[in-house]
Chain A
């Protein structure tokens, strides 16, 4: 029973990361119609920037909290700049093209970011985590110790989902974003700054991706490919939310995290969770009518 509870906590932590990654995908897809296959690669690159600051450039005499703060800030600032750059340099020019063409462009972004990172940081496996909460801190819940870092992830996933949801619903800029997602043409006729909206979506999406990447570092041996390939789990979670619903996406992320963690009690295999993700994707596409979200794509 104790083992089961421990696996549940690991699964929820993993699920929180999937949720965060998926939130960025849904945000970008809703407002710009781009299904971003490069989402994992963008998070990976920002994570490595944060990692570089934490382990490469920060001074050994600085307190850990200062290094962590600087590293996370550097990663997030880099992510914001990267999101904006991609919008200005690439996706602004293909706004009217078919969704498939935009998706293929993100594959080009994925390939370029992936090899640029492997050029800079090589193909080594790293296990040098960045802890946002103190590493040893645990809480007791019904006799089961829960690491503070797991709680940070879960709280952050839930907080961001509801925060983003509230932002989209109650602020005027959020309303502008939803208007653009419904119809860019009529939104621009109503005076909504479509370019600004899509730039902000890319920036926010990239920020969330970076956050997911930084938060996952304590839990896996990461290298440039494994963080890039987080995309398939994030896409599975996003599909559970139908690529539109933020709360369902977060729920989907947690469900997927648990589904991928429980089999590791019996099957010691690094590849098996990928099969779980694929089965979830296929199951979701069978259960949900695929035309349901073709509307958003145009």
Chain B
């Protein structure tokens, strides 16, 4: 009950935030939710099940291209496009999960890196796949409807944002509930020891494939809204480096925590835009120009520092400190809180 309430409060507050801003920041807000879906998919796959993946942006990209194909190619309703995008990402996720049945750790990282590179350089860019990617121009989505309402990108960005945010709150709530459910305990048992989990009767094949499929579906759900928000699809947003950034930012923010995904999504969408908008000018008589590249440098350096100093991520560390402070306050007469 508390969780539902928290999700509702988060939704109402977050839905209001972009209202007063210009179109650019509304776009950032919608993009933040799309990236947050990508990071949430890693919370499920890495945080809960302990499987490493360097191709989450590929899943999001497959969702985006499928949705673009449905809308621009077959003139489908956007709801149908989203369902198709999620389904395509789910299928690809299960296929990627098959080698993961035998691999773990760094070998799985190598294979998923290879998959991300093949999609980045080959599938999303090659002539042989133009039926899927819409050629070099990509799919243009300017006349989309959803629930019978007009949802095209330029004028109705807020509508797309609200739908995305509502979906994110629902999926995040489901994820938090999954953590403590029977299925969630089985998934976490796989993370801690696959051998022990199998001994306790957990069907490894089923749960690992399901975890990969569901994780890909979550990333694909965010990605399938990309054509609606950006107006078109291109390979650039879903290339290999986005996948690497997903992995880096998910770990940086705290890969075991659902709210960290939201935090990471905002970080990933808003910081580069703020840098390119306000990162140039003069300071004390000297001109400076901070480009997008500084964002990725910062991500890399922060990730290294975090892994050395705060292994549980930014959110995990803040949470632990808050809980410690709370229980210290509890010693003065308040309620005792168990620090996990």
Contact = CB atoms under 8 A, between A and B. Distances in A.
Given A90-B304, A275-B122, 16 more contacts: A100-B105, A104-B248, A104-B251, A104-B303, A107-B248, A108-B302, A108-B304, A111-B248, A111-B299, A115-B296, A118-B293, A229-B117, A270-B126, A271-B118, A272-B122, A278-B115
A107 B244 contact: yes
A94 B297 contact: no
Interface of A: 35, 37, 90, 93-94, 97-101, 103-105, 107-116, 118-119, 225, 229, 231-232, 235-236, 239, 269-272, 274-275, 277-278, 281-282, 285-286, 290, 294, 297
A281 B247 contact: no
19 contacts: A99-B106, A101-B311, A104-B307, A108-B307, A111-B303, A112-B296, A114-B241, A115-B294, A115-B297, A239-B110, A270-B121, A271-B121, A271-B122, A272-B122, A274-B118, A277-B117, A278-B115, A290-B104, A290-B107
Interface string B121-134: 11101111000000
Given A93-B308, A94-B308, A290-B102, A110 B244 contact: yes
A107 B248 CA distance: 7
A273 to B, nearest CB: 9
A106 to B, nearest CB: 9
Nearest to A29: B106
A232 B244 CA distance: 14
B215 interface: no
B41 interface: no
A217 to B, nearest CB: 20
A272 B294 CA distance: 32
B240 A229 contact: yes
Contact of B103 (A225, A271, A290): A290
Contacts of A90: 304, 308
Nearest to B252: A108
A100 B293 contact: no
A274 B105 contact: no
Contact of B291 (A97, A100, A119): A119
Contacts of B111: 278, 281-282, 285
Nearest to B115: A278
A270 B241 CA distance: 18
A115 B291 CA distance: 10
A277 B304 contact: no
A239 B299 CA distance: 29
B113 interface: yes
A101 to B, nearest CB: 6
Contacts of A278: 111, 114-115, 117-118
Contacts of A110: 244, 300
Q: Give chain B's interface secondary structure class.
A: helix
Contact of A235 (B110, B302, B311): B110
Given A103-B109, A232-B117, A277-B114, A112 B301 contact: yes
Contacts of A285: 99, 102-103, 107, 111
4 closest A-B pairs (Cβ-Cβ)? A271-B122, A112-B300, A108-B303, A111-B300
Interface of B: 52, 54, 99, 102-107, 109-111, 113-115, 117-118, 121-123, 125-128, 240-241, 244-245, 247-248, 251, 291, 293-297, 299-304, 307-308, 311
| Centre residue among B105, B113, B248, B304 by max chain A CB count within 10 A | B304
Contacts of B107: 239, 285, 290
Contacts of A105: 303-304, 307-308
A278 B58 CA distance: 15
B301 A108 contact: yes
A39 to B, nearest CB: 12
Contacts of A109: 300, 304
B245 A297 contact: no
Contact of B297 (A111, A271, A281, A290): A111
B105 A269 contact: no
A2 B154 CA distance: 57
B125 A100 contact: no
A97 B106 CA distance: 13
Contacts of A269: 122, 126-128
A101 B251 CA distance: 10
| Centre residue among B103, B104, B110, B248 by max chain A CB count within 10 A | B110
B300 A297 contact: no
A264 to B, nearest CB: 13
Nearest to A38: B300
Contacts of A103: 52, 105-106, 109
Nearest to A224: B293
Contacts of A274: 114, 117-118, 121-122
B53 to A, nearest CB: 12
A116 B296 CA distance: 9
Contact of A232 (B103, B113, B301): B113
A115 B122 contact: no
Given A274-B117, A278-B115, A35 B106 contact: yes
A11 to B, nearest CB: 19
Nearest to A268: B127
Contacts of A294: 105
Nearest to B250: A104
B19 to A, nearest CB: 33
A271 B125 contact: yes
Contacts of A94: 307-308
A278 B54 CA distance: 14
A108 B99 CA distance: 25
B249 to A, nearest CB: 10
Contacts of B248: 104, 107-108, 111
A260 B251 CA distance: 34
